[in-house]
Structure 1
Amino acid sequence: MQIISWFEKLMRMRNPHFSLSKNITNYTLMLFILHLFFCKVRGSIISLLGGKIVWSLFLEKNVSLYYLRNMKIGKMVLIEKGSIISAMHPGSLCIGDSVKISAYSTIHVSKNLQDITGHIKIGNEVGIGEFANLGGAGGLEIGHNCIIGAYFSCHPENHNFENHDKLIKHQGVSRKGIVIGDNCWIGAKVTILDGVRIGNSCVIAAGAVVKGEFPDHCVIAGVPARVIRKY
């Protein structure tokens, strides 16, 4: 019971509403604590090697952080195994406090050495599901307290294609950016396209392809996505 009480106090530093399940055993809890300990050690070592100390960063195995000095990472951040995160210019990636980025996610602010631009800002207490793919070349902002399902993708950039005399890949791009409000629930396999503005407290159904602007407190679904009700 003393271990459970201590662990709950520790976890409430990350989530003030945290409460352990009554079904958890001491065996399970001890293994989980050991896992977190190794994640903390790994986070400290990798951040030190990257030239920047991030004391409350928890990293699982095979996480790659490229250009760590260009990132601002908050407290109590957990990044799960196989994730790749890159920020090619200073201050371009900001991850808030108590953020969880689930396994095999990819977050790249920019990947083009000829045109390094953009930014990604993830608010406090955001949870992102497995296999997310977030780009930031045109700017991406995700508000506080959002919960996001697996295979989420954001693409704040479009390729130009109107000139028939040039290959599409040589016609350049347009960028408007993406802004997602606070307290949104985004289902699995949602795709967010360039220029999207989503209000606060919105729900986006699984599989939606989102383009355009949406107000606060609405449920969004479909391909292309539309408001199916407000609440």
Structure 2
Amino acid sequence: MQSIYTLKGIVRNKYYRLKAVLWYSFFLKKMGKGCVIFKPLVITPDSIIMGDRVSIGNRARIEGVKQYQSKIFTPNIILNEGVTIQQNIHLTCAESVVIGRNTAIAANVSITDIHHPYDDINIPIEHQDIKTKPVFIGDDCKIYNNSVILQGTIIGKHCTIGANSVVSGQFGDYCVIAGIPAKVLKRYSFETQAWLKTDAKGNFLEI
């Protein structure tokens, strides 16, 4: 016999799936089948494309920035099929953030394509014009708790990002990435069919 908590969870999930269909689907750029959005803090649906079976957890801030100071932007946030996001995502986008199919994002992760310059010492940093560079996260990735994905980052297919990492730069497919700043620790070798240790640039240390 199912517990009262299980039944409440089933009802809750059905409610938010129905709300996605009856409410968010009219405002998002595009929304696939079977999507669910749980109690977001901030969401700008007209900047978001969602594929099938996308799930966004509680207290999400997914924000397309259309204007900052005098500059106008056209943000594109693309969450491809099967993307799952746990609670407290903080995603801000003024140009482009793309998350690949079946990528799973754990709690308290931040992702942004925005940089706040500090060049002019006579203007507060928050008041200077922002700079943008697209972010791309490949298919089948796992991003663990409290990680920060910075402007211009490119992450390949089937990569895992260690908890509390600060990620900036370009990373190839099939990598284990962790640290502050994040570096490649391991990469899958198709020659040996095993995950092998690498240097920070992803070159194998052993074959």
2:73–2:95 Cα contact (<8 Å) kept? no
Question: In 1, Cα distance between the equivalents of 2:110 and 2:123?
Answer: 28
Map of 1:135 onto structure 2 = 92
TM-score scaled by structure 1? 0.72
The 1:148/1:36 distance shift into structure 2, 3 A limit, reads closer
2:31 to 73, 76, 86: 73
- With structure 2 as the length reference, what TM-score do the two structures score? 0.80
Cα distance in 2 between the residues matched to 1:41 and 1:201: 31
**Higher mean displacement: 180-189 or 105-114:** 105-114
Q: Percent identity?
A: 31
Aligned residue in 2 for 1:85: 43
Higher percent of residues as strand: 2
Question: Structure 1 residues 195, 76: CA separation in 2 closer, same or farther (over 3 Å shift)?
Answer: same
Q: How far off its partner does 1:111 sit?
A: 5.4
1:212: how far off? 0.6
Partner of residue 46, structure 1: 23
Contact 1:155–1:192 (Cα < 8 Å) also in 2: yes
The amino acid that maps onto 1:108 is E
The answer (yes or no) to whether the contact 2:152–2:169 under 8 Å persists in 1 is: yes
Query: Paired residues, what number?
Result: 185
Q: List structure 1 runs of 4+ shifted beyond 2 angstroms.
A: 25-47, 81-84, 111-117, 163-171
Cα shift readout 1:16-65 (whole Å, capped 9, x = no counterpart): xxxxxxxxx34556544433443344445435xx8x2xxxxxxxxxxxxx
Two-structure CA RMSD over aligned residues (Å)? 2.2
Output the CA distance in 2 between the equivalents of 1:42 and 1:75: 13
Structure 1 counterpart of 2:186, which letter? R
Alignment of 1:62-211 (within 5 A): 68=27, 70-87=28-45, 92-110=47-65, 112=67, 114=70, 115-211=72-168
**SS state at 2:36 partner:** strand
